[in-house]
Each structure stands twice: as C-alpha cells, then as structure tokens.
Amino acid sequence: MTPIRIAFLACVPFAFIAIAETPKEVKGNPLIFSEDFEKGADKWTQTDPAAWKVIEEDGGHAYSQHQQSNYKPEVRSPLNIARIKDLDVSDFVVEARMKQTGKEYGHRDMCIFFGYQDPTHFYYVHLATKADEHANSIFLVNGAPRVSIAQERTQGTDWGTGYQTVRIERDTKEGTILVYFNDMTKPVMKTTDKTFLHGGIGFGTFDDTGNIDDVHIWGKAMSDHAK
C-alpha cells in the first residue's frame, strides 16, 4: 500500500492530496522492481507458501507472514523466507515498509535476504530488539550456520507496533553493506564483505511473524551485465 502524503495549507478550507512518487534512480541504480501487493503475490516464492498470504490493511494490501513455515534449513539460518522470483542483482538499494507482528522479546525480528545463491549460501540482515552474536546484525550463511559479520551495529531495533521503513544499500565493488532503519541519513549497521557479489532478494523472519509492503529495488540486474 503506497503511503499518501497530505499537505494542509493555511486559510484553505481543503487539503491537497498527492501520492509520493517512487524515484526512478537511487545511488546511480535504476528502479528495477516495485511491489505493493495490490494484485497479489505471484512474483514471490516462499520456503513455505502456507505461511504467507496477502491481507487487506488500511485500505490497501500487504504481504503477511502470518505463521511459522514448515521448513527446516540444512544449516542454522532463518525459517521464514519469501523471495522475488527470477531476480538476480549485484549493486542495489532495497527499501520496504515492514511491520513486526510478534510478541516482544530479545530476538523479536524481521529479516531482509540478499546475495541469495541457494538455501545454504546468502546474506541476511536481522533486525531484532537486542543485539548479540545471533541477533540484530548482518549475517553470512556460507554452507555453514550463520555468522555475524557486522563491523558496526546498534544495540537493538525498536519495531514498535506499526510499519517501519528499512533500506539496504549494497556496493559490490567496494563490498559495502549499509542498513538503515527509518532514518535514511545514518546507517544502523555497516560491514564490508565480498563473498557473494550478486544474488536474489527476499524478506521474512527468523522464527517470528510480520508483514511487508511497498517494496522497491533499484539495482543492476545480472541479465543487464550480459548485454
């Protein structure tokens, strides 16, 4: 559901309403994917389709991971993943509105997956209430249980009860990964890693529940590199 921006003008007995436009380019990357779930979720593939559904919310639609996936990863890594079909990018900026719908506890989380090669090779950002070696960090899954690779991170993430805006910026030449949470001027996590220089993108939780909406990706698709 695309957010609506409303401007009230003094001494004018009505409001002008305009829908915020999605930029066609961010950080030199063109817009290559947008999803608001108003026409369903046919562009997505899941670790367990039964755990995900399109819901009506606030006059629009969102994609809800409403229950635990019946999925057991080969190595210790998140259980609930919905990935965009047929998307393989190198450099990218991904932004989405995300809403955690589970109970509050230290590892209350939502995740963004990227550099996805297969079920045992990918990165993910885990945004959770309290940081420790297994939470609120940037993780690498490389044929073995996930390992925290964040070089800088906050002590935790406050999901509250509503939607939050999350952004990840990836520069494969430099190897940088920057994570933003609501404030797009200051990263909440940083690292540098070149293990996977391209791959798929997805969303979900480690073992919680949550909704996503208004997904936008600006990036360099691997199919374009062959042109």
Task: List, in order of start, the domains of the chain with CATH numbers.
Answer: 27-225 (2.60.120.560)
- The encoded tokens of residue 141 equal 């899954």
Query: pLDDT per position in the chain (227 positions), as tens?
Result: 544 443 433 444 434 444 568 999 999 999 999 999 999 999 999 999 999 999 999 999 999 999 999 999 999 999 999 999 999 999 999 999 999 999 999 999 999 999 999 999 999 999 999 999 999 999 999 999 999 999 999 999 999 999 999 999 999 999 999 999 999 999 999 999 999 999 999 999 999 999 999 999 999 998 765 44
Q: What is the pLDDT of residues 127-154, one digit of tens each?
A: 999 999 999 999 999 999 999 999 999 9
Long-range contacts of 101-106 (CB under 8 A, 24+ apart): 101/64, 101/66, 101/208, 101/209, 101/210, 101/211, 102/205, 102/208, 102/209, 102/210, 104/129, 105/129, 106/130, 106/132, 106/135
Measured CA distances, 83 to 69, 114, 118, 175 (Å): 14, 9, 11, 22
The single-letter code of the amino acid at 133 is: E
Residue 37: closest CA among 22, 50, 55? 55
Q: Which of 33, 23, 9, 15 is nearest to 184 (CA)?
A: 23
